[in-house]
Amino acid sequence: MCQAFSCLVLPDTTVVWQFGVDSHEELLKLTEFKFKDDTADPNKMTFCRVEISPKNKNYLEPDKWALEIDQEKPMWWTSEHADAAEKAHKEWMKKLDKLLLKKPIIRPFRDITPPKKITKKHLDLLSAWINAWAGMRINIWNKMGAMVGASTRNSIWNNVGISVWDRLGANMAESVEDHIVAYTGSFFKFPSSTWKYTKKIKIKGYPFQSAVDLWMMGLVLSFDGQTWRLHGGKNGKVLWEGDERAFLKKEK
């Protein structure tokens, strides 16, 4: 499976890569090069599939970036080719750093003590999230993948949401996943104008900040089709729940 950073290294140390593309097969389709993927003979190979990714698979908090050859190593491969790939990776990192917000990962059930009482402040944030919720998952998920590549996006999702998913995901998968996705989106410095279907959301900056604010308070949202719940604490217990229709009527 391809990881970011992915590239193709040629015998003359040329490195082929494209920001946001972490598939070697997609790179092979680039028209400016005439790649022929027609041999497994190391003596006849005309390119080498290379990927450089964090050993801990965490693009926000990487431990060490490691170069791997994702195929049989060509006979012409030398340390110069590895150096060329490393140099290209540094250029990729410069582009990623412009889009990625390097802030601490908050794991709400572990890092935050939830409020002792759910107040109107929390319910107002829930109301804002309900109004922003429609269409948000495909909006954020696709945008992150298109901008930085699927493997970078997926790594961040896994690292920010694994503890929440383990406790709640199996029971209320879609709504819990959407809250994780909304929090994941806050790690990207995209202009607010790039988010689709958000013109009616009256907020400057990240349109789904209400979900992020609840997350930072140690509260995770879930919805079973009728009842909204706010979960918090080490076990993700229910701290508040209410029927969606009654809640929306109350909040109007």
Phi-psi region of 237 (alpha: psi -120 to 50; beta: other; left: phi over 0): beta
Residue (of 164, 160, 141) closest to 222 by Cα position: 164
In the prediction, which pLDDT does 249 show? Answer: 45
Scan for tokens 């993700």, then name that residue. Answer: 236
The answer to whether residues 107 and 164 touch, using CB atoms and an 8 Å cutoff, is yes
Please give the average per-residue pLDDT across 28-36, as a whole number: 76
Q: What angle do CA 128, 134, 139 make, to 5 degrees?
A: 105
In the prediction, which pLDDT does 136 show? Answer: 65
Residue (of 16, 15, 7, 20) closest to 151 by Cα position: 20
pTM for this predicted structure: 0.78
Residue % of the chain over a pLDDT of 70: 84
219: helix, strand or coil: coil
Tell me the CA distances in angstroms from 122 to 163, 185, 187, 240, 242, one per residue in order: 22, 21, 22, 10, 13
DSSP state of 100: B
The answer to whether residues 66 and 154 touch, using CB atoms and an 8 Å cutoff, is no
Going across the sheet that includes 15-16, the strands are 15-16, 6-9, 48-54, 65-69
User: What pLDDT digit, counting tens, does each position of 15-25 carry?
Assistant: 999 998 888 88
User: What pLDDT digit, counting tens, does each position of 129-151 carry?
Assistant: 887 776 565 666 677 777 778 88
User: What pLDDT digit, counting tens, does each position of 84-124 carry?
Assistant: 999 999 999 999 999 888 888 899 999 999 999 999 999 99
Residue 214 reports pLDDT greater than 90:
yes
Tell me the CA distances in angstroms from 4 to 80, 218, 239, one per residue in order: 21, 31, 39
User: What pLDDT digit, counting tens, does each position of 171-201 carry?
Assistant: 556 788 888 888 988 898 887 766 666 666 6
In the prediction, which pLDDT does 138 show? Answer: 61
Give dist(CA 216, CA 86) in Å, integer: 36
Centroid of chain to Cα 17: 20
Residues belonging to the chain: 252
